[in-house]
Structure 1
Amino acid sequence: MKSICAVKGVSASGIKEGKFGLALIRASGTAAGVFTSNKVRAAPIEVMMKRMERGTLDAVAVNSGCANAYTGERGYRDALEMCDIAAETLKLAPESVGVASTGVIGRYLNLPLIRDQCRRVAPLLARNGDAEDAAARAIMTTDTFPKHALVRTESFAVGGITKGSGMIAPNMGTMLAFIYTDAEVETPVLRDILRQATRRSFNRVVVDGDTSTNDVALCTATGTAGRVDREELARAIEAVCRSLAIQIARDGEGATKLLEVTVRGAADEDEAAGVARTIIASPLVKTAIYGEDPNWGRVVAAAGRAGAEFDPYAVSLSVGGVPLVVRGEIVADLGAAKKAMHGDTVAFDLDLAAGDGMATAWGCDLTEKYVEINGKYTT
């Protein structure tokens, strides 16, 4: 089993028909969610921010092709109706069903299609790799591959699926993530764990700097594996979120390379994360990555505008293990640095020499294909 269906108490399936897909995931237990920070929030986000106050879920219905965002009161009613459709099909209480949407902003849901797809997907719910893959593919938009992650321990499992490729910035991106564990955990604890995991994973991914209207990550704990160590569970959930986040970065729209930036020696972790995010968001850095151009000055310049306190002439920087700057002295062998930028992953390591804080962020290069994908997205 790939990920979520390896978790006891979880079944899934989905269908994709052209741009329009529907996934159902059934799992009962305590639940937590994190949501977009965009003030323009999609109707399903508004619904779920209220619904998650109860701290439990029995299922989630997810559609792709229509974001149901900027759709006003009708959009909110449609999101509730989508919950009702799934609840009726799965014979659950409507308030126990979650909802998420992804796709084009400013268009209304096709509820007859969603009802039809829901009725066809429900009988296919299963705990196997094919069913999970169908669910993961159903929620894809411009993604080029389905995204799964799984961590198993001796006593419990954590699995997750996600979608995300463009409109990605470090306040959650156009991403939907559904994470499951069979550990038993109270809702307040799960909320704390998910927020911390999100802060160190999804919120450290930048593809293009845009924060979506529909971002959501939901985590449900079925409890079938019993009580577990909190710290061990937190590490497992964070590892799953990190794996999913890296997959999103690698699958950035038009991307050819994964960009990984580790910043160490900052005043604290938050400051290190802020510098790392600024670097991976820089269009100048991203285009240099695409061209395999070891223009390391762009990395240092981006760090300098991130708001962190450090001495520019004390930093050290390397790419792929090749030193570029050592304690403020330029030592770059540009030929070796260019060679280190070949392949599908480029990794920078920046030491600010200003403390013990460390963080890693992920992004991708910026290519002509990104413009092609987004220049005619709705037409």
Structure 2
Amino acid sequence: MTDTNISFVRQEMLQGQTPPLGERGIVRWVRVNLLATPVDAVLTVLALLVLAWFLPPLINWLFIQAAWVGPNRSVCATVAQGGLQPDGWSGACWAFVNAKFGQFMYGPYPIDQRWRVNLVGIMFVALLIPLLIPKAPYKVLNAIVFFFVFPIVAFFLLVGGWFGLPYVETSVWGGLLVTLVISFVGISVSLPLGIALALGRRSKMPVIKMLCVIFIEMVRGIPLVTVLFMASYMLPLFLPPGVSFDKFLRALIGVALFASAYMAEVVRGGLQAIPKGQYEGADSLGLGYWQKTGLIILPQALKLVIPGIVNTFIGLFKDTSLVSIISMFDLLGTVRQHFNDTNWSSPQTPMSGLVFAGFVFWIFCFGMSRYSIFMENRLDTGHKR
């Protein structure tokens, strides 16, 4: 006999309840991240006090009392009111940055030829963005065009002298143009060369290992300023009579070789972190040295040292300012050059120009840092199921 009394069985599920206010939204974030412990609460209060003391004068200088447009330094000579600034100081002189913006970007590159720089920049962005998107198609073709075809096209466009384009000497390049060219060449050359040096240093062939060790330790023991000085002024002394090449090219070679030595040590750290079982497993499959290295060891090693690689790239990008030692001016050097313009000579001009240059450097470095974090998270398969 079947029991037809099923009143004790639930016929409908209870509706989910909203979490308490203290366990969701901004309230939970503040409680967990800022007020989790008494020490965290004290540090949060101290941080808020520091911000309350520091931010109002900073905002006042950057935006409220800043001079945005004007023909000369007279627009930046207004004395600050309210006691938020030292006596004789007004807000930021963004009018100076606005007036000199073209010089900061291109340097003394001929104004009527700046379209060539803009075209190179558009090509650079158009090729770089798909290369950075993991799911973008035609990755191999894009990489070949970006690293091999684009530099040749950019060289002909920027230097000129062919196809009816006026010749522009590298000595009149400057500003952000020089910063990006040096950093792009340095990054593109230092990574593969650094990988080769790291593999050479771990090689079982004594001659190759010794040469790689000598190069890495010698370059790492010399400041970049010295490398640039030697490339610019001492290298011509060792060349045969009548043989010379562009000073800017010498700087590019010096920076690339300098960065490759540091990159080699970063990559070597990744190679040493690979368990011995990976090598033995590859050997058991009958893989040759290059197959084992290219398909198994190197991909894992590079994934492990992404932070170190990007850190080297960021350092290289900032070190481009040192080319001023050989009378070539990147963004920072160009900004400092224009401090001597009597039309804009004022106490606010240097600080405004340096803040602008620092902000531009920060944008590029922060972008590289965030992308490296994105790639780390994407390639981190250690905890995936």
Please indicate, yes or no, whether the TM-score normalized by the shorter chain is above 0.5. no
Normalising to structure 2: TM-score of the pair?
0.22
* Larger gyration radius, structure 1 or structure 2: 2
TM-score normalised to the size of structure 1? 0.22
Structure 1 or 2: more helix by fraction: 2
Q: Which has the higher strand share?
A: 1
